[in-house]
Amino acid sequence: MPLVDGEDESIDYELSKALESILKKDMDGHIFDSDGNHLLLWKAMEFESWWIHFEKIIGVPMGRKLVNAATDEEEFHIMNNNQFNVGSFFKKSRRKKVIASRWLQYGWGELQIDDEQILTPTIAPFTVGVALAAIEYCRDSRFKVSWTQPNSELIILNLKEEFRDISPSKKVTEFTWTKDCDFNYSPLLEVGDFQVVRKNGGWDHEGERMVFIPANILTRLLYNTQSRTLNIGDELFQSVTFVGLNDAEKSTFLCTAFSMANVIEQSERPIYILSDSEWIDKCQHLLGKFGFICPTEVSSIDENGAVEFSFNHSPTLPFSVGALMAFWQRAHGRIAKMDIIFSEKQCFVKISSKLEYV
């Protein structure tokens, strides 16, 4: 097997081909699975970082909300995907096999259903949530779940059978920026070579532990942040204005965007922007490569670096806007302000300097 980046690590061709067969992309930067569900490809450490910043900005623990969001969306996916309809012959073992394949492909760790534990997980509330949906599917029963995590490599599940009649999960609720997304998606393309190294219960891509997060899980989570008072200063809060977004959604958009901006600001990504075309290229490389929407147009506004981005609607829009805010600040060395305008199917984001420069 060929080695990756000269290191003593071999490409797992079987897993790589499996991922290439189920993944599609569009020209806006979205990544989809074979059923058209939108996926985000996170560096595992940056997903954990985003979560830490997100909870800090919300100001209250959100772990149980993420468990519920992950369980509901994974249950909805299982109920509406023929892949999980395995029939009655060796049903239990076949269901476990389907779950094991999904967990491996998405980089979630190793779910040991019989032992009720998870090896090498990503952040605990997310992993526990998708695990609960998987276990309920495999056992045809409802459970309450709690967990302990003795170390970063192990989660021990505590399951108690639930005998109440619980309604099946419903389709995710829409935000203004997720409406009419289907009308904007361009024709789907192959992702091309997607070479991964299988290790530690998951896989690495280009030397980093990666994890796929279904976008609808995060959308379900964010529904719980509407109308919240955020743990941010007035100056930062007032640096963003909205048109076309209802008041309840503003806190949701801001906490998502600012959390993403904090992740970018703590990274070591060099950002050098000289032209509109370079903005497009940088967004494709740093956002679209990982499933976050990229702008369809970029226009410079003045000589001080002010720029306007045009986006189609997308569940990842708040993440991309937050990232662009951080990119702009790093490129120009100034504090940014943003004016965000929503139309029926598009969003226009103007980023400029918060301070006047003569």
| Tens digits of residue pLDDT in 16-33 | 999 999 999 998 999 999
The tokens for 251 are 């806190």
β-sheet bridge partners, residue 338 = 240, 351
Q: What is the pTM of this model?
A: 0.92
Please list the alpha-helical segments (H only) found in 59-207.
63-79, 91-106, 124-139, 181-184
pLDDT value of residue 3 = 37
Please list the alpha-helical segments (H only) found in the chain.
13-22, 44-58, 63-79, 91-106, 124-139, 181-184, 215-222, 234-237, 247-266, 276-286, 317-332
Which domains are seen in the chain, by residue range?
13-179+188-217 (3.30.1380), 228-353 (3.30.1380)
Q: For residue 358, what are the contacts with CB-CB under 8 A and spacing of at least 6?
A: none
pLDDT value of residue 343 = 92
What order of strands is seen across the sheet that includes strand 31-32? 189-190, 24-25, 31-32, 38-43, 208-214, 202-205, 197-199
pLDDT per residue rounded down to tens, the chain (358 residues):
333 444 557 889 999 999 999 999 998 999 999 888 999 999 999 999 999 999 999 999 999 999 999 999 999 999 998 888 776 677 889 999 999 999 999 999 999 999 999 999 999 999 999 999 999 999 999 999 999 999 999 999 999 998 887 888 999 999 999 987 765 556 778 887 888 998 877 899 888 899 999 999 999 999 999 998 899 988 888 899 999 999 999 999 999 999 999 999 998 777 877 688 889 988 999 999 999 999 999 999 888 889 999 999 999 999 999 999 999 999 888 899 999 999 988 999 999 998 765 4
pLDDT value of residue 77 = 94
The tokens for 245 are 């977004």
The neighbour count for residue 62, using CB atoms within 10 Å, is: 18
